[in-house]
Structure 1
């Protein structure tokens, strides 16, 4: 054990309350602080994504168009391509892992991942636990129903209908809590499971980001095309990593400026018929 400093023993020439005594105590405190600061700095070192040799990035494994696992460790989708671009700009190789909606904050807080690119909407509640770079895209919440299903033309028509509720997602809250629409919530583990429930009639509708719905919209299902919110897809990052956040934002800006964002959005979503946006989103700020 290292003793940083000891209390100076008062002497006849430097009593506790004397100017000399106070000066000695101040000098001892200064020495203690000087000893502690390097230790604190060494503890903080290596906590930024910029200090990592390889970035571990959490992505969705089951959202067509955004993130789908095609084999162990291999994924494809818009979020995967954006994450790969950002990592390349940071000069880092990447390893992708699953990040389900219910796991995202915990993965970051536990240090299991360095970044999250997983249709991760920025919300005030989430910002109390983690930080966000971006957003790298602003989606809009919409509704998916069975083709030919009558009476659902907008979110208000979900009144008394069965709505899929994915664990860890905030989308159902924007219907039931923010807009006070009395829906019957049917719990589900993922949006892919929701689509199965929609096709079998277990639920009447799925309401979430239009980019997510675009990936799931197949014969037998239809997007209502009545958006009612802005969903800012952020890059999840551990709180306090300001340098890493600013580097991520710089990379996202370059992605839009060099035309990569437009190319990726059209690659994955042009066939959906959604009105896509190709301008740099307004960032949250990293302070």
Structure 2
């Protein structure tokens, strides 16, 4: 059984209780798969265009969704056996700890602080922190950040980086990037800061074309990992193998081209997997 053994029973019970309400398909009558349960609960973001987005018709689309679906498939689950669970940045460690989800693929940057609470597989992607500003405005160098009112999501590495590196800058920490985008549009904040992959997804949305632009500042390197509960080394190793297979088979690059190509965002090649112990 490739699903984490210590909590397989708990995960199955949780899946049964959520089946009637959780989005993304799967029910207690689905095939068992190699994972030893009828469904698997996977944490994603619901509001990140290009990465993890829940559409008005209830579908889930984005690069992170594709990665999560591929991993689940390698663990023995069909797409209709996956329950996608919304995983806000500030709740991810808690959700893994209490068994709400089996793993998380949600622009989840690997950091030493987080590795004290959870384990990671990967990384499967590398992004860079940047600013999204109103089209026609500019931020030409990082020194200008101290004079701006910025917005990010509470619990994100972007918010933590900003507070540490630019303590003089104003910062609104909200629940979602969509809320920050509203503030940017109405002038409440000067810029939205997070990973350039997320910002490119917002800028490329049809309703946002011509409204926003990336500043082009590489403020940090963010290595996205797949979060798993602390100590679940077997699951971590299985996910690392799935990521490697996705890259080798070309499915990784196909997903990159599909979800980031329209934004003319040049993603870096798949990074080397480092989270092995």
Separation (CA, whole Å) in 2 of partners of 1:165 and 1:276: 22
Q: In the alignment, which of 183, 186, 190 is matched to residue 204 of structure 1? A: 190
Q: In the alignment, which of 243, 250, 253 is matched to residue 241 of structure 2? A: 250
Separation (CA, whole Å) in 1 of partners of 2:7 and 2:182: 47
Consecutive unaligned residues of structure 2, counting only runs of 5 or more, are 12-34
The equivalent of 1:107 in structure 2 is 95
Residue pair 1:153, 1:224 contacting (<8 A) in 2 also: yes
Residue pair 2:123, 2:275 contacting (<8 A) in 1 also: no
Q: In the alignment, which of 99, 114, 117 is matched to residue 129 of structure 1? A: 117
Residue pair 2:53, 2:60 contacting (<8 A) in 1 also: yes
- State which structure, 1 or 2, has the greater radius of gyration over its C-alpha atoms: 1
Separation (CA, whole Å) in 2 of partners of 1:60 and 1:207: 17
Separation (CA, whole Å) in 2 of partners of 1:175 and 1:163: 9
CA shift in 2, pair 1:149/1:111, >3 Å: same
**Alpha-carbon distance, 1:114 to partner:** 0.4
The equivalent of 1:19 in structure 2 is none
**Alpha-carbon distance, 1:284 to partner:** 3.0
Normalising by structure 2, report the TM-score. 0.81
1:194 aligns with 2:185: no
Consecutive unaligned residues of structure 1, counting only runs of 5 or more, are 1-42
Separation (CA, whole Å) in 1 of partners of 2:100 and 2:58: 15
Q: In the alignment, which of 238, 245, 252 is matched to residue 229 of structure 2? A: 238
**Alpha-carbon distance, 1:123 to partner:** 0.8
SS in 1 for 2:156: coil
Q: Which 4+ residue blocks in structure 1 deviate beyond 3 angstroms?
A: 43-53, 71-74
**Alpha-carbon distance, 1:102 to partner:** 1.5
